[in-house]
Chain A
């Protein structure tokens, strides 16, 4: 038995109260959670909180924690702003039926090394919104260990940005062995490299040239697991970066 009871609270305060008990867990898409080895406690469903909306304000998109990956990848405003970034990043995540279930909140809470969402959001300067009210820059949140906090959503600032996404998978539908997102905002250039297999990291900044970023990303930490070796990942990172950078600047850089 995974859970011995189920609750769908009507307010986030009730969720916080339930999270106070050690064995209770939020079930979002339930795709990852259901494979965990656990027994007892309450399955907490956020379905009554109304956190399944993408709201557009003057200066940001506010993505609710229960928004699915498929909602994100088909949102016209986000697609227009980012040149279909999320469609490019999520296309290879299992299938549409899966992405109709997998949520933004569940994905960010996990902070998986292979997360396409984390890699795609990092160069957009996104922030994680917690309940009770707290905003944490995503790059900082990604470095923290999961601690039972409640994610309410994500803020993506509106911006003029050119962004490109590439990932490499050993087989279609499997988790990526390397992820790469590159964004140019004004004079600033950023890259997020994930699945190293460690969690995605953001590098770059104002005035950064593609050549210096390409050099910097070779100095990130890479690792070996069953899917790929450290040396292979380091090499692939350079190749995917060059392709992304080429896509947004319209010219090739040295891999």
Chain B
């Protein structure tokens, strides 16, 4: 079947099987940042935004994407690069496989949260698994980036 959706600001038409997931359609459209790691909705590597909300593309039925707005890392390069510098400083980017999904969720978090306490940040990012870093360096990078972009915990 044919679907039409907005991918990173551009209208695209794509062919999909009725039971295909958005992830594989996106990769067929040439969007290579989107990774499949666990394929069981556990790891967050496949995170994209559907109408601005971070979602697991490995579980999202592709036919449902018809008429929706899909955003991937490819549309957010400038912002992602500014954050990537903090990741590099902390050695938080190792094999890099988890990175696109992690960054998509970090950027979504910055838009959604209003109070950036350590607990809120950790809760928001808990669905992004990383086999290499042990998370501490990632969290240091996020904390430094949030601080330098004026996003901090609300005063109590």
Which residues of the partner chain B approach A3 to less than 8 Å between Cβ atoms?
A: 18-19
- CA distance in complex: A91, B67 (Å): 30
- CA distance in complex: A100, B56 (Å): 8
Is B64 within 8 A of A45, CB to CB? yes
Which residues of the partner chain B approach A242 to less than 8 Å between Cβ atoms?
A: none
- CA distance in complex: A30, B20 (Å): 11
Number of chain B residues close to chain A: CB under 8 A: 30
Q: Which residue of B lies closest to A40 (CB)?
A: B19
- CA distance in complex: A10, B55 (Å): 24
- Residue with the highest number of chain A CB atoms closer than 10 Å, among B41, B54, B109: B41
Shortest CB distance B47–A (Å): 5
CB interface residues, A 1-30, toward B, < 8 Å = 1-6, 8, 27, 29-30
Q: Which residue of B lies closest to A32 (CB)?
A: B41
Which residues of the partner chain A approach B85 to less than 8 Å between Cβ atoms?
A: none
Shortest CB distance A127–B (Å): 28
Interchain pairs with CB closer than 8 A, number: 81
- CA distance in complex: A24, B104 (Å): 34
Is B19 within 8 A of A94, CB to CB? no
Shortest CB distance A20–B (Å): 19
B5 CB–A CB distance under 8 Å: no
Which residues of the partner chain A approach B156 to less than 8 Å between Cβ atoms?
A: none
Is B19 within 8 A of A1, CB to CB? yes
Contact residues on A (Cβ < 8 Å of other chain), bracket = 20 to 34
Candidates B40, B55, B61, B63; contact of A97 at CB < 8 Å: B55
Q: Among the listed stretches B26-34, B123-131, B145-153, which one makes contact with chain A, having 4 or more residues with CB under 8 Å of it?
A: B123-131
- CA distance in complex: A2, B62 (Å): 13
- CA distance in complex: A4, B56 (Å): 22
Which residues of the partner chain A approach B123 to less than 8 Å between Cβ atoms?
A: 91, 96
Which residues of the partner chain A approach B99 to less than 8 Å between Cβ atoms?
A: none
Shortest CB distance B82–A (Å): 22
Known: A3-B19, A97-B44. A31 touches B64 (CB 8 A): no
- CA distance in complex: A94, B58 (Å): 14
- CA distance in complex: A173, B113 (Å): 21
B97 CB–A CB distance under 8 Å: no
Known: A94-B127, A95-B44, A96-B54. A101 touches B60 (CB 8 A): yes
Chain B residues in contact with chain A, CB under 8 A? 1, 17-19, 21, 40-42, 44, 47, 50, 53-56, 59-61, 63-64, 105, 108-109, 123-129
Chain A residues in contact with chain B, CB under 8 A? 1-6, 8, 27, 29-31, 34-35, 42-43, 45, 47, 70, 91-92, 94-98, 100-101, 172-173
Task: Sample 7 A-B pairs with CB under 8 A, ordered by A number.
Answer: A5-B18, A6-B18, A34-B59, A42-B18, A45-B61, A95-B105, A96-B105
